[in-house]
Structure 1
Amino acid sequence: MTLALDRSEPRRFSMPAALLSRAGVNGALVLATAYTFMPLLWLLMSATKDIDDLFGTNGFAPGNSFQLWANLKHLLTASDGIYLRWLGNTLLYAVGGAAVAAFLCVLAGYAFDKLAVPYKEKLFGFVLLGVLVPATATALPLYLLAAKIGLVNTFWGAFLPGLVFPFGVYLARVFSASYVPGEVLEAVRVDGASEWRAFWSVALPMLRPGFVTIFLFQLTHIWNSFFLPLVMLSDQRLYPVNLGLFTWNAAAFDQGHPENYLLAITGSLIAVIPLLIAFLLLQRHWKAGMTAGAVK
């Protein structure tokens, strides 16, 4: 008994099903976009209000009187302009720390990928263990270590922990395997270049997308870091901007200073702008970096 083969054309989706599928995808994208931008819209609208409109009008509508410039002036002059100091501290912690951390990660990832380091796979396994540990779990041990060497309530006590980024080392190794051909390094070594020269002049330019990607990840992480500065710092002049805004919000809630709500809201709006600028300026390198490993 023979079975007849079905030589008919493959079944295709009907037009209504395709439209429903496309509508579902577009609807999910719209919801994700709204989820991302609604907090920013609320911040922008709230920053245009006075204290009465803040609690008496729709959160996603502008105030009856446009108070954005007055709120900005109040923000920049409050407590002798301490907000600008907080913002400057955050730029030092985040931009400086992310740049150094990204370079160290690229250097370590390149070494794990291209150099014959003894026990490097076991060492890399320890690095991956660091990825599994949440940052909040390390805040108290870091505080105790900083207390031993006298770094509590200092700039370095808040800056140095941001230089350690295990996930960045993992990413850097992936980038090195994808972007840096071993044949090019062998040719450079044959020409007499040292390992440092091969990394600095040949590998590092190839790893630029990886450097930018790791930099943006760590920049966002340090910028949003809260618990470590909270336990490490007590001097308001050393606060990052998010910890300073927290103190204003706490003063408004606990000490009966409702005008500090506007300071916290307007300051939060301004604090978002540097991150947006960084992503817009570096998005070309970041997009290229996120596709690392997609092409053999």
Structure 2
Amino acid sequence: MSTGLRSATRTREMSPSAAGRTKRGRKRSLTLTVLTALMALYTLVPLAWLFFNATKTQEGLFTSFGLWFDDGKFALFANIKDTLTYDDGIFLRWLGNTLLYVVIGAGGATFLAALAGYGLAKFDFPGRKGVFAVVIGAVAVPGTALAVPQFLLFAQLGLTDTPWAVIIPSLVTPFGLYLMWTFAARAVPDEILEAARVDGAGEFRTFFRISVPLLGPGLVTVLLFTVVATWNNYFLPLIMLKDPDWYPLTIGLNAWNAQSGTAGGQAVFNLVITGSLLTILPLIAAFLLLQRYWQSGLAAGSGKE
């Protein structure tokens, strides 16, 4: 029997309800495809605009179409060189500051979230439900609502205009703690912990030698969230820092962008756009390299017992 005859036979044998479900499934698939395409377009168009305009000179930004190259000159490499050397290479200083805040702040936040989440998931102690309520409540509080109290506190401690004013608040991530809590509850079997304790392993050795490898996907997920949050942090450094030498990239690029509105200031929009492109490249690389880990971490963390 030919392929066409077999297909026709299966279509005739299919019940009306099954045929209706198939049509509805195809309609839903088409709708999801269209929505996915629209979301991809919404996400990629700003990135395309950033790339195309990073290849233009200051004059070319205003004389060419935003979503295509300038016919006059391809200035990407010249813009990158000028961005890295402008104002005595302050961009590299801002990049170093951002890396400092990310390594200590985001790395420390991930480590503390793993310790706290593991402890809440695997140890029973008085007040555990109260801690859970506080964590859930902290997740719902926006960071901007805490900025002014944090500024007043750090001003009393004399830590404003220092890196610690940005690093210390970054060490606390309620969402990361909650994610590690739920992930550890499912990823680390109690039987393995009991076997390690019977063999004489201490709690810290059990955590680092047995639990941490099992918590790998959750750790990567929390690390990515905290890295992105710290890398893109704008409001907290804005109110905490006055010295440009301690600016992260977000504040520094905004300062360059604001130069055009000051008396005697130089407009460097091409450098702002090129610097923005250079700023997002590490985040894109991190997501592409660690994609499979953070996806599995999100899936596991969203489950319930």
TM class by shorter chain equals over 0.9
In structure 1, the residue matched to 2:55 is 48
1:16-39: per-residue Cα shift (whole Å, max 9, x none)? 655443322211111111111111
Q: Is the 8 A contact 1:51 1:258 kept in 2?
A: no
1:205 aligns with 2:213: yes
User: Which of 177, 186, 191 does residue 169 from structure 1 map onto?
Assistant: 177
For residue 3 of structure 2, what is the aligned residue in structure 1? none
User: For residues 50 and 282 of structure 1, do their structure 2 counterparts lie closer, same or farther at Cα, with a shift above 3 Å needed?
Assistant: same
Cα offset, 1:250, TM superposition: 1.1
Corresponding residue number in structure 2 for 1:83: 91
Q: Deviations over 1:232-255 (max 9, x none)?
A: 000001000010001111112444
Alignment equivalent of 1:92, drawn from 68, 90, 100: 100
Following superposition, the deviation at residue 259 of structure 1 comes to 3.4
2:68 is the alignment partner of 1:39: no
> Paired residue for 1:108?
116
Q: Does residue 214 of structure 1 match 2:196?
A: no
SS of the equivalent of 2:97 reads: helix
Which moved further from structure 2: 45-54 or 17-26?
A: 17-26
One-letter code aligned to 2:146? T
Distance 1:16 1:58, change over 3 A: farther
Distance 1:83 1:242 in 2: 11
Q: What amino acid does structure 1 have at the position aligned with 2:102?
A: A
Q: The residue matched to 1:193 in structure 2 has which SS? A: coil
Q: Which residue number corresponds to residue 290 of structure 2? A: 282
Distance 2:180 2:24 in 1: 42
Distance 1:15 1:191 in 2: 56
Question: Is the 8 Å Cα contact of residues 128 and 170 (structure 1) preserved in structure 2?
Answer: yes
1:89-131 Cα offsets, whole Å, 9 max, x none, are 1111123311111110010001111012221111221122111
Query: Which residue of structure 2 aligns with residue 74 of structure 1?
Result: 82
Note if 1:29 corresponds to 2:36.
yes
Equivalent residue for 1:61, pick from 68, 71, 77? 68
Residue equivalent to 1:144: 152
| d(CA) in 1 for partners of 2:212, 2:25 | 46
Gaps (5+ residues) in structure 2?
Answer: 1-14
1:182 CA drift (Å): 0.6
> 1:184 and 1:15 mapped to 2: Cα distance?
46
Match of 2:281 in 1: 273
1:160-206 deviation per Cα after TM superposition (whole angstroms, max 9, x unaligned): 11000011110011110110001111111111112222111111111
Q: Which residue of 2 aligns with 1:260?
A: 268
Q: Does 1:246 align with 2:254?
A: yes
Distance 1:102 1:15 in 2: 45
Q: 1:181 aligns with which of 158, 169, 189?
A: 189
C-alpha distance in structure 1 between counterparts of 2:187 and 2:157, whole Å: 40
Tell me which stretches of 4 or more aligned residues in structure 1 moved more than 6 Å: none
Q: 1:4 maps to which residue?
A: none
Contact 1:111 1:117 in 2 (8 A): no
RMSD: 1.8
Summarize deviations over 1:131-175 as a string: whole Å, max 9, x none: 111001111111111111111000111111100001111001111
TM-score, normalised by the number of residues in structure 2 = 0.90
Q: Residues of 1 paired with 2:30 and 2:269: CA distance?
A: 40
| TM-score normalised by structure 1 residue count | 0.92
2:239 to 206, 225, 231: 231
Distance 1:32 1:137, change over 3 A: same
Question: Following TM superposition, by how much is the alpha carbon of 1:41 offset from its aligned partner in structure 2, in angstroms?
Answer: 0.5
Q: Kindly indicate whether the alpha-carbon contact (under 8 Å) linking 2:259 and 2:267 is maintained by their aligned counterparts in 1.
A: no
- What letter corresponds to residue 128 of structure 2 in structure 1? K
Q: Distance in 2 between matches of 1:180 and 1:261?
A: 51
Equivalent position of 2:4 in the other structure: none
